[in-house]
């Protein structure tokens, strides 16, 4: 996908908000994150290599978007394509809810009012 199309898709997803996504359960996400912890840490604050992103505190919608893109192959990364390949929509929602609920990045929220 071209960068512009990607930005457009991400914007649509953000505009749709969490209502359009399966709602994630952070506790289930923690249980499902065993295979992720070596690189991202239990709470998503570990970056085992300089190219490993911090997941803690990131927006759930963004994390879901990223995982869906790895799953479909729209976003290419040898490691993440493998780890995302067998995740269900619910797994993705739960994992995103877990990392989003952890203290880490400070990402400003859009005013929903």
21 vs 80, beta carbon nearer ligand HEC: 80
CB of 87 to ligand HEC, least distance (A): 6
15 vs 35, beta carbon nearer ligand HEC: 35
CB half-sphere exposure, 96, CA atoms < 13 A = 23
CB of 68 to ligand HEC, least distance (A): 10
List of residues contacting ligand HEC (CB under 6 A):
35-36, 38-40, 51-53, 55, 63, 66-67, 75, 77, 79-80, 83, 95
73 vs 111, beta carbon nearer ligand HEC: 73
Residue 62 to residue 74: CA distance in whole angstroms: 15
């Amino acid at each position: 996908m071209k960068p512009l199309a990607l930005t457009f898709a991400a914007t649509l997803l953000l505009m749709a908000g969490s209502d359009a996504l399966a709602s994630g359960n952070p506790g289930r996400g923690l249980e499902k994150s065993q295979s992720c912890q070596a690189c991202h840490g239990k709470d998503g604050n570990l970056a085992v290599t300089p190219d490993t992103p911090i997941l803690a505190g990131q927006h759930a919608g963004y994390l879901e978007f990223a995982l869906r893109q790895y799953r479909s192959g729209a976003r290419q990364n040898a490691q993440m394509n493998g780890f995302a390949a067998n995740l269900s929509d619910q797994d993705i929602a739960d994992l995103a809810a877990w990392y989003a609920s952890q203290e880490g990045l400070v990402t400003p929220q859009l005013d929903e009012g």
